[in-house]
Amino acid sequence: MPATPSPYPAEALVSPLRTLSAEWVLLPDGWHQRMEIRFDTDGVIHDVAPATGSPDEDLLVPGMINGHSHVFQLDLIGRNQRFQHPGDDFWSWRTGMYALASTLTPTTQEDVAYRAFRAMLAHGYTTVCEFHYTHGATRRDNGEMPVLMSEAVLRAAERAGIRIRLLPVLYQQGGFGERPLTREQRSFGLDTQVYLGLMDHLRHEVPLSSLQTLGYAPHSLRAVGLDALRDLVDHRNETAADAPIHMHISEQVREVNEAVLGLGRRPVEWLIDTFDLDASWCLVHATHMSPAERSALAASGAVVCLCPTTEADLGDGYFSLLDWLAHRGTWAIGTDSNGSVNPAEEIRLLDWHQRLHTRRRNAFQFDSSLGAGTRLFQQALAGGRQAASLPVGRIEPGAFADVIALHRTPRHADMAADDILNAWLYSANPSWIRQVYTEGQPRLTPTP
């Protein structure tokens, strides 16, 4: 294979390039043998070419993008799996989540975020879109709390070595109809001008590392009214047009029904009718769409972010990915409540949902040139790249050198590279991962 043309002018190469090579590398057009990735000191890939020496790794694949995470919910694991009453559901689950959120300080926020980010890296996530709404706003004696809580998440990400798109959340209502926040929700709430001031402060006053960028996150239609949502979108358009907008939508049937009563339309329908959705929008869950909503949303170019392990845990329902793909829709995966921080778990469960629904093992009927897991992995990478709005999820010139190194044991020496990738995805066993790199730097080593 000839060397991939470089986007860099020759005079720009003022420092030596670093290299990372493998026996097999998953490039955008498929597997290639004995390839070398060359990247600069900023961790940006300069070119991909045939390797000249012994490979560093067995297999290299793009690092996965976590399109939706609430890091603090990592500490809910094991605390919310006990029967409480017959109607236990998403809405009752929130009680425990609110109680946990109310205990957070900048110190504990950084601690849980660091543990979550390290776990994500160990399982193959190299980028995370952190949907951050634990602003600590009940501390009226300290007006800097929202800034301190955001900075705590950013510090944790830098310490861990994960790429982050921090999405501070606008959260103002306790439900449709401008219901006031409950006592338990007050720590999430920010006035619109305070929120926009927070965004300006983080962008201009906080020194962001090369791994850190910002985006916008109106929590949901039930938590943000029309005027505030318009102000947020206008601020994004005027000050950071390249930043994505992420929003929860249509996660619960009750939410859809309340939207019809409060807004006169279903959530996705209302959003499409009210705003010019495009590829910069990421709608999280979108579980309960009508066929008309599904068709219109796919046509808008927006990406949906699916969180199968959380959606299963909370009894949300499952996403009809087959129907979404029939409309050429784009999708990403996320960890949401972080009960699982394993991209293989999300992809496997997403596939199994479709298999159970269709009662077919190969529900997607992909061609046989690559495994079903590989095809889904590639689609999740493409959707994650769009959701993060960053040059990630591909091994190509101009992208960040954020990759996963998989390895074969002597017992699996005869397995093809594609079978190794599918073994990881369908076993969800992180022992297939030997190393994870962001900016070309190994991250599965102890850090302070």
C-alpha radius of gyration, the chain, whole number: 22
* Tokens 């791994």, residue located: 211
Q: Phi and psi at residue 128, in whole multiples of 5°?
A: -135, 135
DSSP 336: B
Rounded-to-integer distance, Cα 215 and Cα 206, Å:
15
Active-site annotation holder among 40, 313, 336, 351: 336
* Tokens 């002597």, residue located: 410
Cβ neighbors of 94 (< 8 A, separation 6 or more) are none
336 counts as catalytic: yes
Rounded-to-integer distance, Cα 253 and Cα 316, Å:
8
Rounded-to-integer distance, Cα 165 and Cα 67, Å:
9
For the residues of 113-145, what is the DSSP string, one character each?
HHHHHHHHHHHTEEEEEEEE----TT-TT-TTH
Rounded-to-integer distance, Cα 335 and Cα 316, Å:
14
Distances (CA, A) of 69 to 165, 167, 279, 366: 11, 10, 20, 29
65, 406 contact by CB (below 8 A): no
Length of the chain as a residue count: 448
Query: Tokens standing for 113?
Result: 């975020």
Classified as helix, coil or strand, 358 is helix
Active-site annotation holder among 285, 351, 353, 402: 285
Rounded-to-integer distance, Cα 30 and Cα 419, Å:
13
β-sheet bridge partners, residue 284: 248, 305
Helices (H), 29-77: none
Rounded-to-integer distance, Cα 103 and Cα 317, Å:
30
285 counts as catalytic: yes
Classified as helix, coil or strand, 330 is strand
Residue 418 CA to its chain's centroid (Å): 24
Residue 176 CA to its chain's centroid (Å): 27
Strands 303-306 and 30-39: unpaired
Catalytic residue numbers? 285, 336
